[in-house]
Amino acid sequence: MVKGRVFEIPVSELTKDQSKYYTRISLKAEKPHEGKVPTKFHSFFCVNEYVMRMGRKGLGKVAVFADVETKDKWQLQVSVVAVLNRRANAEIKKRVREFVSKLVESKATDLNHDDFVRAAMAGVFQMRIKKGASKIYPVRFAEVIKIETLKIGE
């Protein structure tokens, strides 16, 4: 009766890092075996209150939605938000969006799904996005707000 259920767990409980209080991970239960229930990654996301608090009046916001395929053939949908220091014109936002999508796609092809999700949970993408996109326009804040599984690979 457990097979197929989705369990939601705060990332702060898994990593023992209380600074990630706003992120959660969903795991999908597989067929029970010898009294244990193996799980597979289902999704990773930030709580809505945290995401809504990022945007403020006078700041620019760039949202990127990318469908990527990892090294082990998992197809994931990744949502990233970058908050700029001030409002920016459409050309700057387009360049930041292209930079972020290229970064996410290149990292997905280099990593398997497990390492990709761990990197997002650890803040690796957020730091690289902030550092790289700040060369285009000053970025105040960057966050991977959602990773969803579209297709399970190998």
Q: Considering the chain, what is the average pLDDT of its residues? A: 89
Q: What is the topology classification, in CATH, of domain 6-151?
A: Tetrahydropterin Synthase; Chain A (3.30.479)
Alpha helices in the chain (DSSP H): 11-15, 48-54, 90-110, 113-122, 124-133
54-78 pLDDT tens trace = 777 888 899 999 999 999 899 999 9
pTM of the model: 0.84
Measured on CA atoms in the order 63, 67, 68, 74, is the torsion positive or negative?
Answer: positive
Both tokens of 1, joined, read: 């009766």
What distance in Å separates the CA atoms of residue 7 and residue 145, rounded to the nearest whole number? 18
Task: Report domain extents, the chain.
Answer: 6-151
